Amino acid sequence: MNIKEYMAARRDYFDSKLKNFLPNPDSCPEVLLQAMEYSLLAGGKRLRPILVLAAAESCGGRLEAAMPPAAALEMVHTYSLIHDDLPAMDDDDLRRGKPSCHKVFGEGMAVLAGDALLTHAFSVAAQGVNEDPLRRLAVVAELAKAAGPIGMVAGQAMDIAGFGLMDASQVNHIHRCKTGALIKGAVRMGAIIAGAGAKVVHGLTQYADSLGLAYQIVDDILDVTETSQQLGKNPGSDEKKGKQTFVTVHGLEGARIMAAAETARAVQALQALGGDYSLLQDLAEYIGRRYA
């Protein structure tokens, strides 16, 4: 199958199993579970869990074994979107083509839904029957690193603190944390749960580091070239808030050149590993050329 067919198939596989990883309705307040489900099950590209699954497959792992880390990572990503949309953060009313969580359930419940998804994610990441417990422990540690104060949250904090005052290197660093950390974590978690060796994990880390930056650059391009219906959120919101993006710093054509360069670096990292990583290469080339 081609890469679009692969992504659709893995997205369907992931979505068909995702609800099973949520708390039992008997053990969780109904309104809290409704708010969690509203955002988590709203669809979307599912890029991060697809990367977990693809990395695991590329390293000889089983899809079933990769589902808990994939679900956990999507829970963390969804929590970040819920909190991102709050009035205290980006104040966005639209997410994945639907009203944001706080517009439906109120700000307080949206905060709690995000908190619940974040904390529950670590219980999910630790799941697994046949996998080496040390692998599961490494996956949990990887998730914490990607999501926390040296990963995604660090990027969010720098984004707020540097509002409108960032140069090109700062924009680059922020997005390696804010967006790139979870993408890098996705690839590493997939490789780890599959039992990949240190050399392979290192090479895939280099791949994912460039892939995460390429993804964000393309997102910034799409933010000024597509409509809210195409994006599932309001376009141009960062620029309207005075935030620096790859497009505002480098211009549209400069951003396209950067996206192509980072995509090429991701592919080169795979080629340096040897072996068959054509699936991950196809994913990188698709992600890096979404604006084309």
pLDDT at 292: 53
Identify the CATH number of the domain in which residue 18 sits: 1.10.600.10
Query: What is the Cα–Cα distance from 159 to 242, expressed in whole angstroms?
Result: 11
Once rounded to an integer, what is the mean pLDDT over residues 272-281? Answer: 95
- Kindly report the pTM of this predicted structure: 0.93
Q: How confident is the model at residue 161 (pLDDT cuts 50, 70, 90)?
A: confident
Tens digits of per-residue pLDDT, 44-75? Answer: 899 999 999 999 999 999 999 999 999 999 99
pLDDT tens for 89-138 read 989 999 988 999 999 999 999 999 999 999 999 999 999 867 789 999 99
Structure letter (DSSP) for residue 231? H
- CA distance linking residue 83 with residue 42, whole number of Å: 16
Q: What is the mean pLDDT of the chain?
A: 92
pLDDT bucket at 216, cuts 50 / 70 / 90? very high
- Give percent above pLDDT 90 in the chain: 79
| Residue 228 confidence (pLDDT) above 90 | no
Mean pLDDT of 240-247: 76
> CB–CB of 152/89 below 8 Å?
no
What pLDDT was estimated at residue 244?
Answer: 82
Whether residue 237 is predicted with pLDDT greater than 80 in this model: the reply is: no
Residue whose structure tokens are 């040296």: 150
What is the per-residue pLDDT for 170?
A: 86
Quote the domain boundaries for residue 202: 3-288
> Which comes out higher in pLDDT, residue 132 or 262?
262
Nearest CA among 180, 162, 174 for reference residue 242: 162
The confidence score (pLDDT) of residue 50 equals 98
Instruction: Give the count of domains, the chain.
Output: 1
The alpha-helical segments, DSSP class H, found in the chain are: 3-18, 30-40, 47-58, 63-84, 101-105, 107-125, 133-147, 152-161, 168-178, 180-193, 198-225, 228-231, 237-240, 246-273, 278-288
